[in-house]
């Protein structure tokens, strides 16, 4: 499993890990039952704390994207189309909140933000 982590991001390392693993699972790059590296192995590979990887895996376990088998490790969970859609909507909502907060901080009002979103939707 290849991850691209950076210390220069405002996004914490455990969130970078969980976001990238989540994307690989939802894209089918990690299929149902595929084994993930152990917490220690991934921490060593990425040169991060074991606690950082543990937090990322815990987040993915809570989301139902990973399963843990005692003594065996962590595996990609089976993902339904509904789960893919719901996860994508949740992630979109998070990203849009950030963008809207930034737009408001720049002085844009709700009507202006809606117009920009409508414009983008019409482009596609």
Same domain, 92 and 65: no
pLDDT, average across residues 98-106 = 93
Long-range contact pairs involving 36-43 (C-beta distance under 8 Å, separation at least 24): 36/1, 36/66, 36/73, 36/74, 36/75, 36/76, 37/1, 38/73, 38/74, 39/74, 42/1, 42/3, 42/17
| Domains of the chain: total | 2
User: What per-residue confidence (pLDDT) applies to 28?
Assistant: 87
| Digit-coded pLDDT (tens) for 41-62 | 999 999 999 999 999 999 999 9
pTM of the model: 0.71
> Is residue 27's pLDDT more than 90?
no
| Digit-coded pLDDT (tens) for 63-92 | 999 999 999 999 999 988 888 888 788 888
Rg (CA), the chain: 17
Same domain, 44 and 67: yes
Same domain, 43 and 92: no
């Amino acid at each position: 499993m290849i991850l691209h982590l950076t210390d220069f991001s405002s996004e914490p390392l455990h969130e970078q890990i969980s976001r990238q693993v989540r994307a690989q699972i939802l894209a089918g790059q990690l299929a149902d039952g595929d084994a993930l590296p152990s917490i220690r192995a991934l921490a060593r590979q990425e040169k991060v704390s074991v606690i950082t990887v543990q937090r990322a895996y815990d987040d993915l376990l809570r989301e139902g994207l990973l399963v843990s088998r005692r003594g065996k490790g962590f595996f990609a969970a089976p993902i339904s189309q509904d789960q893919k859609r719901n996860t994508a909507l949740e992630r979109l909502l998070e990203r849009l909140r950030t963008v809207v907060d930034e737009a408001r901080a720049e002085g844009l009002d709700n009507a202006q933000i809606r117009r920009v979103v409508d414009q983008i939707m019409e482009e596609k």
